[in-house]
Amino acid sequence: RFNLIPNVFILSVAHMLVDVGPSVTITSLTNFIAFLVGFYTPTPDIQVFCLGNAIAILFDLVYQITLFAACISITGSLQIQKNSRTGKVRQWSDVKSEEPSHVLEKYSQWLANKLTAIFLFATLCCYWFISIVGSLQIQVVLSPDKLVRADSNFVKVFPLHCP
């Protein structure tokens, strides 16, 4: 069965995993470790929250890698079928060398445009202004009753520490 799969198809899945795999893996493992550290907090409810998120992030990592590979497999086989009907057979190196250069050329021209620079700078200034105003007006109202269950011992002890 393996010999029946065209090299273009195998290479496209391999290139996708090489391009996407490290980014997804690093992000997921960083978040996993962060929530695993949160698991060692003294509050039981936060421990449960952090452990649940850490496990969910690992499942998400597996899901993303398998989903991306499945999508490339499905779309790749459909593309191969389409190309075999039309008589066009392209090598992965042809696809990889043509398409990104055209997209990058247009993107570079757009970025080099002075109007684009002015628009992006104005957008950045608006973003900074809204962020600063929002940060100055924020009110932190975080109390134990919002963090933990009502029957938790932490809620009973907290008023003794912070009157």
- Banded pLDDT at 1 (limits 50, 70, 90): very low
Type of residue numbered 42:
P
How far is it, in rounded angstroms, from Cα 39 to Cα 45? 10
Token pair, residue 24, equals 């997804």
* φ/ψ (deg, to 5) at 53: -65, -40
Looking at mean pLDDT, say which of 40-44, 69-73, 150-154 comes out highest. 40-44
Query: What values do phi and psi take at 89, rounded to 5?
Result: -125, 115
pLDDT at 8: 65
Per-residue model confidence (pLDDT) at position 58: 95
Query: What are 59's two structure tokens?
Result: 């499942």
Amino acid at 38: G
- Residue entry with tokens 């590979």: 69
**pLDDT tens digits, residue range 97-129?**
555 577 778 888 888 889 999 999 999 999 999
Amino acid at 34: A
- Give the pair of three-digit tokens for residue 57: 């992030």
Query: Tell me: the pLDDT tens digits for 9-39?
Result: 677 777 778 888 888 899 999 999 999 998 8
Residue 154 near residue 148, CB atoms below 8 Å: yes
Angle at 78 between CA 74 and CA 81, to 5 degrees: 145
Tokens 């570079």, located at residue: 108
The number of helices, as runs of H, and strands, as runs of E, in the chain is 6, 0
Q: Which amino acid is residue 3, in one-letter code?
A: N
Of the candidates 37, 60, 35, which has an alpha carbon nearest to the alpha carbon of residue 50?
35
pTM of this structure:
0.49
Question: Is the confidence at residue 90, as pLDDT, over 60?
Answer: no
